[in-house]
Amino acid sequence: MWAAWVNGILGIWLIIAAFIRSNPTFGLWDNLIVGILVAVFASLYIGRSRWQGWLSLIFGLWIIISALIPQLRSGNAYLWSNLIAGILIAIGGFVAVY
C-alpha cells in the first residue's frame, strides 16, 4: 500500500520536474509521459494488482536509463532527480509485485 502512495507522489514529481528545469524537448516529454503513467498505475495498484507493479518497475528502470542518455538531460540536477526517482519507483514496483 505504501509503495503505491510513494510511486504516485514520485509520478507527480516527474510531471512537475518536467516543467521546472530547462529540459531538452525529449527530456520534457519523457518525464511528462512517464510521470503520468507512473501516477496513474500507482493509483490503480493501491488494491495490490501485480501487473501495475511490474509496469512501475519497468518505468522506474526506464527513468534510470533515460537519466544517463546525454540527449535527454540538461545537467546534474536532471540526472540526480531522475536517478533518485527512478530507483525509488523501481523499488516501489518491486515491493508491489512481491
CATH number for the domain including 49?
1.20.1270
Q: State the pLDDT at residue 48.
A: 62
pLDDT at site 49: 66
d(CA 43, CA 67): 24
Q: Name the 3-class secondary structure at 26.
A: helix
Find the domain containing 9 and state its range. 2-97
What is the chain's pLDDT, residue by residue, as a tens digit (98 residues)?
A: 677 788 888 888 888 888 876 656 667 788 888 889 888 887 776 656 677 778 888 989 998 998 888 776 666 777 888 899 999 989 888 887 77
> Residue 12's closest CA among 56, 42, 55, 52?
42
Which of 80, 96, 43, 85 has the alpha carbon at shortest distance from 62?
Answer: 85
| Overall domain count for the chain | 1
pTM beyond 0.85, yes or no: no
